[in-house]
Amino acid sequence: MQIPDSADDRLACAQATEEAIAALVDQYAASLYRVAYSVLRNAADAEDAVQEAFLRVLRHRDTLGEVRDHRVWLVRIVWNIVLDRKRRAKTRPETDDISELARVLPSTGLSAEEAAAAAQHHAQVLTCVEQLPAKEREVLQLSAFEELSSVEIAAVLDITESSVRSRLFRARNLMAGLLNHTRSLR
């Protein structure tokens, strides 16, 4: 990055950086919220994690031009934040807000019975996801909920792409077994 010579150049550079950060917020805030919520299961905590991620972006705004893939970079930042928060809050149950999530699921075009069944099924899926081992759960959340590729997940978790694929394979098989077991109990 070239250092601006005049005060006008510095002002223009600062405005361009602010616009770039505002564009990142517009483009990725919802996605980062989903990542945070998928781990924290608490709306307020997820919002705080996203805000903290963008505060970190502000602190490192001078390096924005060096980032190749902003989406992966931001997901990795928020992922590390939520994992740190999770470690600090080990005493709180992980599934506090599953009922809240099931309650606010979109129900456009569904009858009340269909919406209730969909919410119940969604809650069961989330409960099964929570039962997965941590490594498999992390990969599944990033793949299924955030639709990240294996390469992107590997970058976020700092593991190899082959590890991502094997964990995802195990997670899907475990999920199938858990969901079949849940269905058989009904």
Give residue 49's identity as a one-letter amino acid code. A
Mean per-residue pLDDT, 99-116: 63
Mean pLDDT of 43-71: 86
| Residues 6+ positions from 150 with CB-CB distance below 8 Å | 143, 161, 164, 165, 168
With bands split at pLDDT 50, 70 and 90, how would you rate the model's confidence at 167?
very high
pLDDT bracket for residue 168 (50, 70, 90): very high
With pLDDT > 90 as the criterion, what percentage of the chain qualifies?
A: 17
pLDDT, mean of residues 67-93: 82
* Cβ atoms within 10 Å, residue 35: 28
Record the pTM. 0.58
The distance in angstroms from the start CA to the end CA of the chain is: 61
Q: What is the percent of the chain where pLDDT is above 70?
A: 83
Q: CB–CB of 52/80 below 8 Å?
A: no
The CATH class of 1-91 is mainly alpha
pLDDT given for residue 101 in this prediction: 53
Q: What is the pLDDT of residue 104?
A: 55
Q: Amino acid letter at 16?
A: A
